[in-house]
Structure 1
Amino acid sequence: MLYTKTAWLRAAAPIAVLSLALTACGGGKDASDAKDDGKKSAKAGADSPAKSEQETQDPAPSGELKPGAGGTRKFKEDSGKTTITYEIAAQKIHVGTEAEAKKLVSDPKRVKGLVAATAYVKYTNKGGGVVKGLPDVDNNAEIYADGRRGGLLIGAAENLPGCEDPIDIDSWKTGQSHVICQTYMIPTDAKAVEVHWANDDDKDLLVWKFPHAG
């Protein structure tokens, strides 16, 4: 499901303006590090530096799933060095408008021709232990548009309705689920949007394809 709502901007803007970083999307680990740094900066109330560029070619998909369907993957959390088995399900993507995107950033010229897309991803701890601190599994979710990865927009999703802030998740036990969102800037004319999740070594790729409704 893709959809647009002006209410999304009202919820997202206070966070995005506070701690925004439009990052270059190269390797998956870089994007993960940027997301993690952004979450810590948001907690501290600090502004993250803005960077430009997006796009690396999409690797060949494997493990393709329908929107809302879950795939099971093992992931080693930094907190406690625990390997957790997660069920991961990209539920929907929210795509805003270009006018909204300009209001999310301090320099509107940097997002010309782009819109903010937010992926709602549900993670369920299926076993392996308790995630005692800030989870990292959500850092590996990325949004691709027409085969190219978008630019990560830090701090734009934590306060959106239905999204949980990873900073507030503690002692994540087996059987518990959390919906954690990621926001990326993508081209306004994108024909197809995908959510990708893969381990840090780019293995165990899961792909959910969404039609662009914009």
Structure 2
Amino acid sequence: MPYHKPARLSMAVSAVLLAVTLSACQGDDDGAGTTGQPAPSSKDASPAATASQAEAGSGGDVATGESVTGKVAEEEGPVTYEITAEKVDLGTEAEAAALVQDKADAKGKVLAIAHVKFTHTSGPAISSSSDVNDGTTIWADGQRGAILIGAPDDAAGCEDVYDIDSWKAGESHTVCTSYLVPAAAKNVEVHWSEEDGEPYIWTFPNG
């Protein structure tokens, strides 16, 4: 099942407590182009689409296991990626409170770590850090979560995009993003979009 709730997140947290950016849902701070409207449900997604690649377009609902194609203006030139949101790991309220300076910011919230697999399919090899994960955000029940500034994205199974110093066509990397979301949310959504584009949305039931 794509939703995972480990007893404790295997995540190394620095001694410096993290700052939280509480984002209103009318827009992204990373240019992801979200609309602020409640995320569309994936309940009508065809099972036949699972594990297939969605047709390139301007965003929309994506079935669990399905991949999409997106383009990113990397420093070396335009690169096309195949993108799949694999899973979301959720922690506990106590763990969330331990990550922030103001405990009120984490009240009723849990840490959500989205695992997104990116495959370089065409374009120049990347020798500097990629911008592909800049288009990733985490939402819950149609509302954007609170991004954790400075959160280490090196949980188990994750790679730090800044440590990938050579990325060639045909190679894949799983990169993670950390947000705080309401503990009582029914669904957690991973959004990814091209710059100024509409988001693709993968929805994972909470529990």
Q: TM-score, normalised by structure 1?
A: 0.78
Give the equivalent residue in structure 2 for 1:109: 104
Instruction: Spell out, residue by residue over 1:80-128, the C-alpha distance to the aligned partner (whole angstroms, 9 max, x if none).
Output: 2x11110000000001111111111222222111111110000000001
Question: Which of the residues 142, 146, 152 maps onto 2:147?
Answer: 152
Question: Which of the residues 178, 181, 184 maps onto 1:183?
Answer: 178
User: Which whole-Å CA distance do the structure 1 matches of 2:8 and 2:151 have between them?
Assistant: 13
Question: Which of the residues 130, 137, 143 maps onto 2:132?
Answer: 137
- SS of 2:155's partner is coil
Give the equivalent residue in structure 2 for 1:45: none
User: Which whole-Å CA distance do the structure 1 matches of 2:17 and 2:162 have between them?
Assistant: 14
Give the equivalent residue in structure 1 for 2:196: 201
Give the equivalent residue in structure 1 for 2:123: 128
**Quick one: which amino acid aligns to residue 203 of structure 2?**
K
User: Which whole-Å CA distance do the structure 1 matches of 2:78 and 2:192 have between them?
Assistant: 16
How far the C-alpha of 1:186 sits from its partner, in A, is 0.6
User: Which whole-Å CA distance do the structure 2 matches of 1:126 and 1:106 have between them?
Assistant: 41
User: Which whole-Å CA distance do the structure 1 matches of 2:146 and 2:103 have between them?
Assistant: 15
Question: Which of the residues 187, 195, 210 maps onto 2:204?
Answer: 210
More helix by share: 1
**Quick one: which amino acid aligns to residue 165 of structure 1?**
D
- SS of 1:195's partner is strand
- SS of 1:22's partner is strand
Residues 39 and 141, structure 2, Cα contact 8 Å, conserved in 1: no
Unaligned runs of 5+ in 2: 42-58
User: Which whole-Å CA distance do the structure 2 matches of 1:57 and 1:69 have between them?
Assistant: 23
Unaligned runs of 5+ in 1: 34-55
Residues 7 and 137 (structure 1), Cα distance of their counterparts in 2 relative to 1, 3 Å cut: same
Residues 104 and 183 (structure 1), Cα distance of their counterparts in 2 relative to 1, 3 Å cut: same
Matches within 5 A, 1:12-161: 12-14=12-14, 17-18=15-16, 20-25=18-23, 27-28=27-28, 30-31=29-30, 56-58=36-38, 62-77=59-74, 79-80=75-76, 82-161=77-156
User: Which whole-Å CA distance do the structure 2 matches of 1:202 and 1:74 have between them?
Assistant: 10
- SS of 1:18's partner is coil
Residues 13 and 103, structure 1, Cα contact 8 Å, conserved in 2: no
Give the equivalent residue in structure 2 for 1:43: none
User: Which whole-Å CA distance do the structure 1 matches of 2:8 and 2:39 have between them?
Assistant: 34
User: Which whole-Å CA distance do the structure 1 matches of 2:121 and 2:81 have between them?
Assistant: 5
Residues 110 and 142 (structure 1), Cα distance of their counterparts in 2 relative to 1, 3 Å cut: same
Give the equivalent residue in structure 1 for 2:50: none
Equivalent residue pairs, number: 185
Residues 157 and 163, structure 1, Cα contact 8 Å, conserved in 2: no
